[in-house]
Chain A
Amino acid sequence: MTTELVTKSLRDNRGSTTGWGIALVASVLLQLAVYPAVRDAAGEFEKLLDSYPESFKALFNLQQSLASGVGYLQGEVFGFLAPLVLLGVAIGQASRATAGEEKAHTMDLLLANPVSRTRLLLDKALAVFVSVVLVTVAFGTVLVVGSSVAGLGVPWLDLVCAVTASAVVALPFGALALLIGALTGRPGPAVALPVGLGLLTYLLDALSPLSEGLRPWQVLSPFHHAAVNAALNGDPNWLGLAGLAALTAVLLAGAAMAFERRDIRT
């Protein structure tokens, strides 16, 4: 590890990390603040939700009663907000890791230093990972403390597991962004492809319980293996999470190989 490279990348990403982090923490606080009101009016919400199509509820992870702490968090925090932000941090920063320097024309001079391309790429990947961890820790802390204050009644360990699963599922998407950036030297495709794939596999995972045709494909979705809902219900899929970590490692190795072989853009 080259400390200087990691800290510089972290500094460069500071705006993105704090921006996404504040957005997530503030949204979580807001959701938790309105929970007591939602719980008290749960009967009315249930009636409203019953009128929604199943696919809509699946899409926004509204499978359990909003009155229960777990159901509320599934729908309001883990359903959409947390994956959006954590994937945003991972993909956004990873897509700029090497491709951003190439686009800015700073890569030639950076690589003229006695640092191998693999070292450079892995240091930049580490910086992205640290950013994801920082946002995750802020998210988890606010969620655990806030849930207890708002009286959601969800065990803190389940919250920690669900937060961890939400973060782990973002990692392969970040690694994919890094791989595409390393292959092409262009941040555009390095954002677009993982975002598209993230959306597609999210929908695949959310909607496949409703469709016989989709169900065999559900296994292809990283969100399926992260099993955030199960984690929130006290049953985390450790094997699935380990699988996602392994997939991340494979994508990173691919990114390093691609980057070692390529001509740097002018």
Chain B
Amino acid sequence: MNVISTRHLSKSYGRTVALRDLNLEVRSGEVYGLLGPNGAGKTTTLRLLIDVVRPTRGSIRLFGSPMSPRLRGRIGYLPGDLVLYDRLTGADYLRFCGALREHPDLSEALRLAKRLDLDLDRRTGELSKGNRQKLGIVQAFGHRPELVILDEPASGLDPLAQREFHTYLREYVDGGGTVLFSSHVLSEVEHVADRVGILLAGTLVVEDTVTSLKANAVRELTFTFGEEVAAASFSGIPGVQAAVQVSGTEVRCRVIGAVGELVRTAARFPLLNVTSHEPDLEDIFVHYTEEHSDDD
């Protein structure tokens, strides 16, 4: 079953198109990562889903129904621009949320707060950015929602808290929950997402698993040889985008997809060493941006 399903979802602000024809399907029990550079439409998408902004065109169905206030009780939400009530303590804030959601049982929230090492007795105004973010995460999961929508959840968290949060996310999904989150950090998406969608300038340009996304991304292989080898020897090999002569004995190749043919060619020379750079998010973005603009 699709927990989230959008059809031609579009949002414009005046003449600025923030989101164009988004058909997004998030299945029950999966972690879906929405990836994209700043201003790509990630936050707009999440705010449309939570119904704080209204679509210019298209429709949204959550759990198979159009959004309603009742439905929001089954959803947890963490906004990208998280602001809490400064004067309330963490515990007060969770009680307030619990009352609004008719879920006064704070046991899950307290358990998660403890795991994230968050002090709930301090006023939120006195918390560091990281600790406020932890409280934001705790309130999103505290009422045991079936779906959580998180906008840049790991932002501001220290590595330890990030790891604990990712572990918790996995447990939550294993327990039947569904997650949609946005991020611009590939490593985060890689750790936790089952599927990834890349948004560029308001358009979903690709949707895939992380593994195949990376396999199809540009990566860099640097070969060091025992004698001088010309870069030109590697141009024309399938998948190789560019071959650059770094020095007489060193050649760097940018390649997409399988590297077998390239490596076989390199092996014909006296090969001393190969280093491979994992494609980072920027490479993947660049790749899809180029592809995206070619389509236009």
Which A residues are closer than 8 A to B by beta carbons?
2-5, 8, 104-109, 111-116, 119, 261, 263-264, 266
B115 vs chain A, min Cβ distance (A)? 22
- If A4-B96, A4-B100, A106-B83 touch, whether A263 touches B54 (CB-CB below 8 Å) is yes
Say which residue of B53, B84, B99 sits within 8 Å of A4 (CB atoms).
Answer: B99
Query: Does B246 make an interface contact (CB < 8 A)?
Result: no
Give the complex CA separation of A109 and B52 in angstroms. 9
Q: Is the CB of A108 within 8 A of B47?
A: yes
Which B residues are closer than 8 A to A by beta carbons?
43, 47, 50-54, 69-73, 75, 77, 79, 81-85, 96-97, 99-102, 136, 139
Q: Is the CB of B50 within 8 A of A114?
A: no
Q: Is the CB of B53 within 8 A of A264?
A: yes
A-side binding surface: helix, strand, loop or mixed? loop
Q: Is the CB of B81 within 8 A of A115?
A: no
Most buried by A among B52, B82, B99: B52
Q: Is the CB of A8 within 8 A of B72?
A: no
Give the complex CA separation of A264 and B54 in angstroms. 9
Say which residue of B72, B81, B100, B136 sits within 8 Å of A266 (CB atoms).
Answer: B81
Residues of A within 8 A of B96 (CB): 4, 8
Give the complex CA separation of A111 and B70 in angstroms. 12
- If A4-B96, A5-B100, A109-B79 touch, whether A116 touches B50 (CB-CB below 8 Å) is no
Residues of A within 8 A of B69 (CB): 114-116, 119
B182 vs chain A, min Cβ distance (A)? 14
Give the complex CA separation of A219 and B23 in angstroms. 56
Give the complex CA separation of A114 and B146 in angstroms. 14
B263 vs chain A, min Cβ distance (A)? 49
Q: Is the CB of B52 within 8 A of A113?
A: no
Q: Output the nearest chain B residue to A104 by Cβ-Cβ distance.
A: B83
Q: Is the CB of B72 within 8 A of A114?
A: yes
Give the complex CA separation of A80 and B286 in angstroms. 67
Give the complex CA separation of A115 and B71 in angstroms. 10
Q: Is the CB of A108 within 8 A of B72?
A: no
Q: Is the CB of A108 within 8 A of B79?
A: yes
Q: Output the nearest chain A residue to B83 by Cβ-Cβ distance.
A: A105
Most buried by A among B71, B84, B100: B100
Give the complex CA separation of A107 and B54 in angstroms. 15
Q: Is the CB of B52 within 8 A of A264?
A: yes
Give the complex CA separation of A113 and B50 in angstroms. 10
Closest 3 CB pairs of A and B: A114-B73, A112-B77, A4-B99
Q: Is the CB of A111 within 8 A of B51?
A: yes
B238 vs chain A, min Cβ distance (A)? 46
Q: Output the nearest chain B residue to A107 by Cβ-Cβ distance.
A: B52
- If A105-B81, A116-B69, A119-B69 touch, whether A263 touches B100 (CB-CB below 8 Å) is no
Residues of A within 8 A of B85 (CB): 106
B102 vs chain A, min Cβ distance (A)? 7
A116 vs chain B, min Cβ distance (A)? 4
Residues of A within 8 A of B99 (CB): 2-4
Give the complex CA separation of A5 and B99 in angstroms. 9
Q: Output the nearest chain B residue to A110 by Cβ-Cβ distance.
A: B100
Q: Is the CB of B52 within 8 A of A106?
A: no
The contact sample of 7 A-B pairs, CB cut-off 8 A, is A3-B99, A106-B83, A109-B82, A119-B69, A263-B52, A263-B54, A264-B53
Residues of B within 8 A of A114 (CB): 69-73, 100-102
Residues of B within 8 A of A112 (CB): 50, 52, 72, 75, 77, 79
Q: Output the nearest chain A residue to B100 by Cβ-Cβ distance.
A: A113
Q: Is the CB of A113 within 8 A of B54?
A: no
Residues of A within 8 A of B100 (CB): 2, 4-5, 113-115
- If A4-B99, A113-B97, A263-B52 touch, whether A106 touches B75 (CB-CB below 8 Å) is no
B88 vs chain A, min Cβ distance (A)? 9
Q: Is the CB of A108 within 8 A of B54?
A: no
A96 vs chain B, min Cβ distance (A)? 13
Give the complex CA separation of A227 and B266 in angstroms. 96
Q: Output the nearest chain A residue to B52 by Cβ-Cβ distance.
A: A264
Give the complex CA separation of A264 and B13 in angstroms. 12
Say which residue of B53, B77, B97, B136 sits within 8 Å of A263 (CB atoms).
Answer: B53
